[in-house]
Structure 1
């Protein structure tokens, strides 16, 4: 177990490390591309300034480009420039340096002290709207400003290789994470299976050992002269054989229901009669609180009787004091709400859903004072789901438990028996 935990911790740290390194690489790649874009833009705009200088027959003695922000550049021309000619120079220079992206530009007019001309040029080279309010630069007299509004998208478009590598890394990490989840789930199932095998071994050993001892005694000649003892051992033999048969039938029945689903033979069942019979069999520990005027429901008589007995049996077993189990019924509209409440040890809220899982038993250290397979409540949940009823558990440690079931009442319009096949599951509605 410690080795598995170490494996999980190392796997999680590895996944975090891989994702962190990938994020750092992508960030560094983006930063590098951003620097390359600015350098290319700087060189391209310097070429534009040189073209303007040659057009005006003078030579620039210094760098003409100044970057004011991440996407905005000022280019000194030292002379007035025709807007149409300038746009041609810009388009040509940007294409030569593979800066195929939208831009907007404006030309400063020193007479009016504002950017008087500008346009937003799309990737296709078309001016689609006039630009406004480009920032001025007080150091130059003749200059133009140019902005690249989609610089981030242009740079991201050049990171296709990094994007695909990130997708591959995320895919590998996802598959690895899913594999780890499957391994942990299989580990849990293996532990559940081992616990079940241990439980069923101990449960079956008791009746088998008792039957073997009783059989040995009954085979002795001396027992024939002791009729009372003979009857006692015969009774023990019968009780243990029935107990063994019940345990085997429980396992086989659940195995069969998982393969084919529950086959329900639904008929008109009077729940009050079932409860009265069950209470009489477990008196005086079980009492009745039957308030519903009508307790007829459409249900499978055998499965309904079995889950009622399972709930009563659990209530009697998991109790540290004198058991006090109450069977309740009440009517809410066209629904019958029936429940089994007890004064037992209770179930912590974090286990309320888990107790209906196959083979699950509420942890109680390394030993269980009450033997069992962990199938009783699982079977209850399966039957409730097969009937499409609603099951609710209310419980807390030391405060007992209440298992409440809401079932549709049987009316005069649907008092007909029928057989249905319903797949099993663990959601009880």
Structure 2
């Protein structure tokens, strides 16, 4: 187990390391391509400024390009420029520097102090459509008198396309990580199932050994020649033989029934059942350890009587077995907002919070010294939970180690069962109190 835990820890650390390295590589690659784009844009736009200067027969003595944001540049021309000419210069220069992306530009008008002309140019088609953005207030730059601004709105998409190889490798790494994680989960689940099956085999072996050994001893005694001259002893061993055979049959039936329910599901034979009557019968069977705290009103519900009685028996039996002192079990019913709420409360050893969900799992038994002194397959509470789910009832567990447990179930009443308010009104109408 320690080796498996070490393997899991090392695997998780390896996965985290791979993802971290991949993230750093992608980030560095994006930053590199962004820097390359910025440098290419600087050079391309500087070439445009030089073309404008040659057109106006002068030479620029300084760099003409200023970057105001990640995708917006200002280009100084030191002279007015015709929009059509400027656009042809921009397209030619961007193509030469392999900046194949959409852009929008605007030319500053010093008379109106705004970007007076502009257009959005798309290179997605052979004949690029242009959408006028005249009147759009692109950011201005107070240091220049004659300049134009240009924005690359699809810069992120362009960089992403350039990083397609990195992105596909990242997706491949993530898929490998997902498959590895799924494989690890399956391995851990299979290991847990193997441990559960091993514990179940050990439990059922010990459980079946006791009645088989007792039956074998009783059979050996009954086969002796002198037993016929000892009728009291003969009757006693015959009784032991019958009890142990019934116990063995009960254990085998519980396992077979569970296997059948797992395959076919619970088939409920529902009928109107008086829960108070069922609880009273069981309390008498487990007397004097079980007491009743039942509501005054009839507690009729739609249920499968056999499964209901068996589930209640399992809860009471667990309460009697897992107890360090004289067992005290309370069966309670009450009405709450049109529902019948019934519970089984005990003074047993209790269940720790970390095990309260797991106890309803198949074959699960709490790892404590006292628990394993008690015989069982780990199927009782699993069966109880399956019965409640099949009926559509809500089962909750409240427990604290050393202070007992309380299993509470909320279910609907049958339509024939009067609500507490109707019952009170009926009593009021039939009362003899004078008005």
- TM-score for both structures, normalised by structure 2: 0.87
Which position in structure 2 is the counterpart of 1:95?
Answer: 95
What is the CA distance between 1:83 and its match in structure 2? Answer: 3.1
Structure 2 CA distance for partners of 1:408 and 1:145, relative to 1, 3 Å: closer
What is the CA distance between 1:254 and its match in structure 2? Answer: 0.3
Instruction: Choose from 304, 307, 312 the match for 1:308.
Output: 312
Could you tell me how far apart the structure 2 residues matched to 1:196 and 1:49 are? Answer: 84
- Do the aligned residues in 2 keep the contact of 1:292 with 1:329 (CA within 8 Å)? no
Could you tell me how far apart the structure 2 residues matched to 1:393 and 1:337 are? Answer: 13
Which position in structure 1 is the counterpart of 2:168?
Answer: 164
What is the CA distance between 1:185 and its match in structure 2? Answer: 0.9
Deviations 1:363-387, CA, capped at 9 Å, x for gaps: 2159712121000111111111112
- Do the aligned residues in 1 keep the contact of 2:120 with 2:131 (CA within 8 Å)? yes
What SS does the corresponding residue of 1:402 show, helix, strand or coil?
strand
Which position in structure 2 is the counterpart of 1:105?
Answer: 105
What is the CA distance between 1:107 and its match in structure 2? Answer: 4.1
Instruction: Choose from 271, 295, 301 the match for 2:299.
Output: 295
Output aligned runs, 1:280-359, within 5 Å.
280-332=284-336, 334-359=338-363
What is the CA distance between 1:355 and its match in structure 2? Answer: 1.2
Which position in structure 2 is the counterpart of 1:190?
Answer: 194
Which position in structure 2 is the counterpart of 1:86?
Answer: 86
**Backbone CA RMSD of aligned residues:** 2.4
Say which structure, 1 or 2, has more relative contact order (CA 8 Å, 6+ apart): 1
What is the CA distance between 1:103 and its match in structure 2? Answer: 3.1
Question: 1:179 and 2:183 equivalent?
Answer: yes
Structure 2 CA distance for partners of 1:367 and 1:406, relative to 1, 3 Å: closer
Could you tell me how far apart the structure 2 residues matched to 1:269 and 1:84 are? Answer: 91
What SS does the corresponding residue of 1:205 show, helix, strand or coil?
helix
Could you tell me how far apart the structure 1 residues matched to 2:246 and 2:98 are? Answer: 88
Could you tell me how far apart the structure 1 residues matched to 2:114 and 2:271 are? Answer: 90
What is the CA distance between 1:2 and its match in structure 2? Answer: 1.4
Deviations 1:27-71, CA, capped at 9 Å, x for gaps: 111112112211221221122122213212344455443445433
Could you tell me how far apart the structure 2 residues matched to 1:183 and 1:366 are? Answer: 31
Could you tell me how far apart the structure 1 residues matched to 2:38 and 2:369 are? Answer: 67
Question: 1:134 and 2:133 equivalent?
Answer: no
Give the gaps of 5 or more residues in structure 2. 123-127, 418-435
Aligned length: 411
Give the gaps of 5 or more residues in structure 1. 414-429
Which position in structure 2 is the counterpart of 1:12?
Answer: 12
- TM-score for both structures, normalised by structure 1: 0.88
Which position in structure 1 is the counterpart of 2:227?
Answer: 223
- Do the aligned residues in 1 keep the contact of 2:365 with 2:371 (CA within 8 Å)? no
Which position in structure 2 is the counterpart of 1:52?
Answer: 52
Which position in structure 1 is the counterpart of 2:118?
Answer: 119
Could you tell me how far apart the structure 2 residues matched to 1:367 and 1:348 are? Answer: 13
